[in-house]
Protein backbone atom coordinates (compact mmCIF):
# COMPACT_ATOMS: atom_id res chain seq x y z
CA UNK A 1 0.00 0.00 0.00
CA UNK A 2 1.72 3.19 -1.20
CA UNK A 3 1.36 6.39 0.85
CA UNK A 4 -1.53 5.18 3.02
CA UNK A 5 -3.66 7.61 4.98
CA UNK A 6 -3.52 6.81 8.69
CA UNK A 7 -6.63 7.54 10.71
CA UNK A 8 -6.85 7.71 14.49
CA UNK A 9 -10.22 7.23 16.16
CA UNK A 10 -9.20 8.86 19.42
CA UNK A 11 -6.16 11.10 19.68
CA UNK A 12 -4.93 10.84 23.25
CA UNK A 13 -1.38 10.46 24.53
CA UNK A 14 -0.72 7.05 22.99
CA UNK A 15 -2.16 7.97 19.60
CA UNK A 16 -0.10 11.15 19.58
CA UNK A 17 3.04 9.17 20.47
CA UNK A 18 2.45 6.84 17.52
CA UNK A 19 1.76 9.74 15.15
CA UNK A 20 4.89 11.55 16.37
CA UNK A 21 7.01 8.47 15.78
CA UNK A 22 5.62 7.79 12.31
CA UNK A 23 6.09 11.37 11.16
CA UNK A 24 9.55 11.81 12.68
CA UNK A 25 10.68 8.52 11.13
CA UNK A 26 9.54 9.76 7.73
CA UNK A 27 7.12 6.87 7.34
CA UNK A 28 4.25 9.27 6.70
CA UNK A 29 3.82 13.02 6.48
CA UNK A 30 1.54 14.92 8.80
CA UNK A 31 -1.05 15.57 6.11
CA UNK A 32 -1.37 11.79 5.59
CA UNK A 33 -2.74 11.45 9.12
CA UNK A 34 -6.31 12.21 10.16
CA UNK A 35 -7.83 12.02 13.62
CA UNK A 36 -10.98 12.58 15.62
CA UNK A 37 -11.47 13.01 19.35
CA UNK A 38 -14.19 13.81 21.83
CA UNK A 39 -13.13 17.46 22.22
CA UNK A 40 -12.58 19.07 18.82
CA UNK A 41 -10.92 22.26 20.12
CA UNK A 42 -8.29 20.23 21.98
CA UNK A 43 -7.89 17.97 18.95
CA UNK A 44 -7.18 20.94 16.67
CA UNK A 45 -4.42 22.13 18.99
CA UNK A 46 -2.83 18.69 19.34
CA UNK A 47 -3.13 17.92 15.63
CA UNK A 48 -1.48 21.17 14.58
CA UNK A 49 1.86 20.08 16.08
CA UNK A 50 2.41 17.53 13.31
CA UNK A 51 0.11 18.89 10.63
CA UNK A 52 -2.43 16.14 11.27
CA UNK A 53 -5.89 16.81 9.83
CA UNK A 54 -8.55 17.03 12.54
CA UNK A 55 -11.95 15.54 11.69
CA UNK A 56 -15.23 15.77 13.55
CA UNK A 57 -16.29 12.13 13.80
CA UNK A 58 -15.23 8.51 13.74
CA UNK A 59 -17.23 8.04 10.56
CA UNK A 60 -15.18 10.73 8.79
CA UNK A 61 -11.96 9.03 9.90
CA UNK A 62 -13.17 5.61 8.72
CA UNK A 63 -14.07 7.08 5.32
CA UNK A 64 -10.80 8.99 4.89
CA UNK A 65 -8.27 6.46 6.17
CA UNK A 66 -6.68 3.38 4.65
CA UNK A 67 -5.33 2.24 8.02
CA UNK A 68 -7.81 2.91 10.83
CA UNK A 69 -6.26 2.92 14.30
CA UNK A 70 -8.74 2.40 17.14
CA UNK A 71 -7.30 4.47 19.97
CA UNK A 72 -10.29 5.17 22.20
CA UNK A 73 -10.96 3.79 25.68
CA UNK A 74 -11.92 0.10 25.63
CA UNK A 75 -15.37 0.77 27.09
CA UNK A 76 -16.15 3.16 24.21
CA UNK A 77 -15.51 0.67 21.41
CA UNK A 78 -18.95 -0.94 21.37
CA UNK A 79 -20.81 2.33 20.82
CA UNK A 80 -18.25 4.07 18.60
CA UNK A 81 -16.84 1.28 16.42
CA UNK A 82 -19.73 -1.13 15.84
CA UNK A 83 -21.68 1.40 13.73
CA UNK A 84 -18.65 1.68 11.43
CA UNK A 85 -18.67 -2.00 10.42
CA UNK A 86 -19.78 -1.51 6.83
CA UNK A 87 -17.30 1.33 6.26
CA UNK A 88 -14.43 -0.65 7.77
CA UNK A 89 -15.30 -3.59 5.54
CA UNK A 90 -14.73 -1.64 2.33
CA UNK A 91 -11.82 -2.76 0.12
CA UNK A 92 -8.48 -1.10 0.73
CA UNK A 93 -8.90 -0.61 4.48
CA UNK A 94 -7.65 -2.42 7.53
CA UNK A 95 -7.96 -1.84 11.26
CA UNK A 96 -5.26 -1.68 13.91
CA UNK A 97 -6.56 -1.74 17.46
CA UNK A 98 -4.45 -0.43 20.35
CA UNK A 99 -7.16 -0.96 22.97
CA UNK A 100 -6.20 -3.07 25.98
CA UNK A 101 -8.34 -6.15 26.45
CA UNK A 102 -9.64 -6.28 22.87
CA UNK A 103 -8.54 -9.21 20.76
CA UNK A 104 -9.60 -10.45 17.34
CA UNK A 105 -12.37 -12.71 18.67
CA UNK A 106 -13.85 -9.86 20.68
CA UNK A 107 -14.03 -7.65 17.58
CA UNK A 108 -15.58 -10.44 15.56
CA UNK A 109 -18.20 -10.86 18.28
CA UNK A 110 -18.78 -7.11 18.28
CA UNK A 111 -19.57 -7.12 14.58
CA UNK A 112 -21.79 -10.19 14.79
CA UNK A 113 -25.52 -9.82 14.12
CA UNK A 114 -28.27 -11.38 16.19
CA UNK A 115 -28.31 -14.51 14.04
CA UNK A 116 -24.63 -15.03 14.73
CA UNK A 117 -23.42 -14.03 11.30
CA UNK A 118 -20.74 -11.36 11.24
CA UNK A 119 -21.26 -8.14 9.34
CA UNK A 120 -19.03 -8.63 6.30
CA UNK A 121 -16.57 -10.37 8.60
CA UNK A 122 -14.36 -11.67 5.76
CA UNK A 123 -13.92 -8.08 4.64
CA UNK A 124 -13.11 -6.47 8.01
CA UNK A 125 -9.37 -6.92 8.33
CA UNK A 126 -8.17 -6.47 11.91
CA UNK A 127 -4.85 -6.56 13.76
CA UNK A 128 -4.93 -6.12 17.55
CA UNK A 129 -1.90 -4.62 19.27
CA UNK A 130 -0.72 -2.96 22.46
CA UNK A 131 1.88 -0.17 21.96
CA UNK A 132 4.06 1.74 24.41
CA UNK A 133 4.98 5.41 24.58
CA UNK A 134 8.64 5.12 23.43
CA UNK A 135 7.20 4.69 19.93
CA UNK A 136 7.21 8.50 19.91
CA UNK A 137 11.00 8.40 19.51
CA UNK A 138 11.19 5.29 17.37
CA UNK A 139 12.18 3.02 20.29
CA UNK A 140 8.85 1.39 21.03
CA UNK A 141 7.46 -2.08 21.47
CA UNK A 142 4.28 -3.14 19.73
CA UNK A 143 2.81 -6.26 21.29
CA UNK A 144 0.92 -7.84 18.40
CA UNK A 145 -1.66 -10.61 18.48
CA UNK A 146 -0.62 -13.51 16.27
CA UNK A 147 -4.22 -14.10 15.22
CA UNK A 148 -5.38 -11.52 12.68
CA UNK A 149 -7.33 -11.19 9.45
CA UNK A 150 -4.88 -9.10 7.45
CA UNK A 151 -3.91 -10.09 3.95
CA UNK A 152 -0.24 -10.62 3.11
CA UNK A 153 -0.09 -7.18 1.51
CA UNK A 154 -1.73 -5.56 4.53
CA UNK A 155 0.68 -7.35 6.86
CA UNK A 156 3.55 -5.95 4.83
CA UNK A 157 2.11 -2.42 5.14
CA UNK A 158 1.57 -2.91 8.87
CA UNK A 159 5.18 -4.00 9.36
CA UNK A 160 6.55 -1.19 7.20
CA UNK A 161 4.62 1.37 9.23
CA UNK A 162 5.19 0.12 12.75
CA UNK A 163 8.50 -1.68 12.28
CA UNK A 164 10.10 1.70 11.68
CA UNK A 165 9.26 2.88 15.20
CA UNK A 166 9.01 -0.28 17.29
CA UNK A 167 9.89 -3.88 17.88
CA UNK A 168 6.87 -5.82 16.61
CA UNK A 169 6.56 -8.74 19.00
CA UNK A 170 3.92 -11.29 18.03
CA UNK A 171 2.35 -13.34 20.83
CA UNK A 172 -0.64 -15.67 21.02
CA UNK A 173 -3.94 -14.32 22.26
CA UNK A 174 -3.62 -15.89 25.71
CA UNK A 175 -0.41 -13.96 26.40
CA UNK A 176 -1.42 -10.54 25.12
CA UNK A 177 -2.19 -9.29 28.63
CA UNK A 178 1.08 -10.24 30.31
CA UNK A 179 3.06 -9.01 27.30
CA UNK A 180 1.15 -5.73 27.53
CA UNK A 181 2.12 -5.36 31.21
CA UNK A 182 5.80 -5.96 30.55
CA UNK A 183 6.03 -3.70 27.51
CA UNK A 184 3.23 -1.21 28.14
CA UNK A 185 3.04 -0.77 31.91
CA UNK A 186 6.64 -1.35 32.92
CA UNK A 187 7.85 1.91 31.34
CA UNK A 188 6.23 3.56 34.38
CA UNK A 189 8.27 1.28 36.66
CA UNK A 190 11.40 2.16 34.70
CA UNK A 191 10.60 5.86 34.96
CA UNK A 192 10.44 5.42 38.73
CA UNK A 193 13.82 3.65 38.64
CA UNK A 194 15.37 6.49 36.62
CA UNK A 195 13.85 9.02 38.99
CA UNK A 196 15.21 7.15 42.01
CA UNK A 197 18.71 7.04 40.51
CA UNK A 198 18.34 10.76 39.82
CA UNK A 199 17.44 11.42 43.46
CA UNK A 200 20.48 9.43 44.57
CA UNK A 201 22.67 11.43 42.22
CA UNK A 202 21.32 14.71 43.58
CA UNK A 203 21.90 13.48 47.13
CA UNK A 204 25.58 13.19 46.31
CA UNK A 205 25.89 16.50 44.48
CA UNK A 206 25.03 15.83 40.82
CA UNK A 207 22.79 18.23 38.98
CA UNK A 208 19.40 16.57 38.54
CA UNK A 209 19.41 16.89 34.75
CA UNK A 210 22.85 15.27 34.63
CA UNK A 211 21.75 12.43 36.88
CA UNK A 212 18.65 11.81 34.78
CA UNK A 213 20.65 11.77 31.54
CA UNK A 214 23.14 9.29 32.98
CA UNK A 215 20.39 7.03 34.27
CA UNK A 216 18.27 7.20 31.12
CA UNK A 217 21.18 6.52 28.77
CA UNK A 218 22.30 3.67 30.99
CA UNK A 219 18.85 2.05 30.77
CA UNK A 220 18.82 2.53 26.99
CA UNK A 221 22.30 1.06 26.68
CA UNK A 222 21.60 -2.00 28.80
CA UNK A 223 18.55 -2.75 26.68
CA UNK A 224 20.52 -2.25 23.47
CA UNK A 225 23.29 -4.54 24.71
CA UNK A 226 20.80 -7.32 25.41
CA UNK A 227 19.08 -6.88 22.03
CA UNK A 228 22.45 -6.97 20.24
CA UNK A 229 23.89 -9.99 22.05
CA UNK A 230 21.02 -11.96 23.60
CA UNK A 231 23.18 -12.44 26.69
CA UNK A 232 21.23 -13.61 29.73
CA UNK A 233 20.51 -10.60 32.00
CA UNK A 234 22.03 -12.47 34.93
CA UNK A 235 25.28 -12.90 33.00
CA UNK A 236 25.22 -9.21 32.04
CA UNK A 237 24.81 -8.35 35.72
CA UNK A 238 27.67 -10.68 36.70
CA UNK A 239 29.94 -9.02 34.14
CA UNK A 240 29.62 -5.73 36.03
CA UNK A 241 30.21 -7.26 39.47
CA UNK A 242 33.89 -7.72 40.30
CA UNK A 243 34.73 -9.95 43.31
CA UNK A 244 34.73 -7.77 46.41
CA UNK A 245 33.93 -4.74 44.25
CA UNK A 246 31.51 -1.85 44.60
CA UNK A 247 28.71 -3.00 42.29
CA UNK A 248 28.14 -6.35 44.05
CA UNK A 249 27.55 -4.48 47.31
CA UNK A 250 24.68 -2.61 45.71
CA UNK A 251 23.33 -5.78 44.10
CA UNK A 252 23.42 -7.58 47.45
CA UNK A 253 21.48 -4.73 49.08
CA UNK A 254 18.83 -4.83 46.34
CA UNK A 255 18.48 -8.58 46.87
CA UNK A 256 18.06 -8.13 50.63
CA UNK A 257 15.40 -5.47 50.03
CA UNK A 258 13.48 -7.73 47.66
CA UNK A 259 14.03 -5.72 44.49
CA UNK A 260 13.21 -8.51 42.05
CA UNK A 261 10.33 -9.73 44.18
CA UNK A 262 8.88 -6.20 44.25
CA UNK A 263 8.97 -6.02 40.46
CA UNK A 264 7.15 -9.35 40.16
CA UNK A 265 4.64 -8.18 42.79
CA UNK A 266 3.97 -5.06 40.73
CA UNK A 267 3.22 -7.21 37.67
CA UNK A 268 1.00 -9.48 39.81
CA UNK A 269 -0.93 -6.43 41.01
CA UNK A 270 -1.89 -5.64 37.40
CA UNK A 271 -2.40 -9.13 36.01
CA UNK A 272 -4.08 -10.55 39.10
Q: Residues 187, 194: contact at Cβ < 8 Å?
A: no
CATH class of residue range 180-269: mainly alpha
Q: Residues 30, 51: contact at Cβ < 8 Å?
A: yes
The per-residue pLDDT for range 61-108, each reduced to its tens digit, is 999 999 999 999 999 999 999 999 999 999 999 999 999 999 999 999
Q: What is the mean pLDDT of residues 207-211?
A: 98
Known binding-site residues equal: 9-14, 71-74
User: Percent of the chain beyond pLDDT 70?
Assistant: 96
Residue 209 has pLDDT above 70, yes or no: yes
Q: Residues 123, 149: contact at Cβ < 8 Å?
A: no
Going by pLDDT thresholds of 50, 70 and 90, the confidence category of residue 201 is very high
d(CA 173, CA 145): 6
Domain 180-269 in the same topology as domain 6-171 = no
Q: Residues 5, 31: contact at Cβ < 8 Å?
A: no
Could you tell me the residue ranges of all domains in the chain?
6-171, 180-269
At residue 1, the pLDDT reads 73
Q: Residues 42, 105: contact at Cβ < 8 Å?
A: no
At residue 121, the pLDDT reads 57
Going by pLDDT thresholds of 50, 70 and 90, the confidence category of residue 216 is very high
Topology (CATH) of 6-171: Rossmann fold (3.40.50)
Q: What is the mean pLDDT of residues 224-249?
A: 97
Known binding-site residues for NADP(+) equal: 9-14, 71-74
Residues composing the chain = 272
Q: Residues 21, 135: contact at Cβ < 8 Å?
A: yes
DSSP, res 35: E
Amino acid sequence: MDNPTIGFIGYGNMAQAIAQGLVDAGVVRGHQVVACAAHYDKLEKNAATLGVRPLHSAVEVAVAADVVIIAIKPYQIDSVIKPLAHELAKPGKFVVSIAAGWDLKKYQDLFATEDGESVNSPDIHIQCTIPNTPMAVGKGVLVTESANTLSDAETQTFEELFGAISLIERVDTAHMNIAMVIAGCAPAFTDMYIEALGDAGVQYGLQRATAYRLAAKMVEGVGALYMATGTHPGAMKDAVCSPGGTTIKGVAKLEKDGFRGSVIDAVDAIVG
